[in-house]
């Protein structure tokens, strides 16, 4: 990825790869919205945020050589689907 700022071919390939990764996230987000499971959100932006979060989790887990870190952080990914204004207060989540 770091070479993508220096090589257009690599950058273009990574853009394609991330678009392929984003598609299933977008499809699942749209399905969740249609089913009333999550509120209306910007699907493309949220999918990109979810991928960025996952990439960051993987980077941190690799850097620390600790796969458990990924298992701990990854489930929090779903919080990106609910805008803060619609999220329940933390105390309500404990009930």
The predicted-structure confidence for 12-65, as pLDDT tens digits, reads as follows: 888 899 999 999 999 999 999 999 988 899 999 999 999 999 888 888 999 999
Q: Which two tokens stand for residue 60?
A: 């941190």
Please state the pTM of the whole predicted model: 0.72
Name the DSSP letter for residue 41.
-
Helices (H) and strands (E) counted in the chain, each on its own, are 4, 0
CA 68/CA 92 separation, integer angstroms: 27
């Amino acid at each position: 990825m770091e070479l993508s700022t220096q090589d257009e071919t690599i950058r273009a390939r990574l853009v394609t790869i991330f678009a392929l990764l984003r598609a299933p996230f977008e499809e699942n987000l749209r399905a969740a919205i249609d089913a009333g499971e999550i509120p209306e959100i910007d699907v493309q932006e949220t999918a990109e945020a979810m991928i960025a979060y996952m990439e960051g989790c993987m980077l941190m887990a690799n850097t620390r050589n600790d796969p458990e870190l990924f298992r701990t952080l990854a489930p929090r990914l779903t919080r990106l689907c609910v805008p803060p204004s619609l999220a329940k207060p933390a105390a309500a989540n404990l009930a």
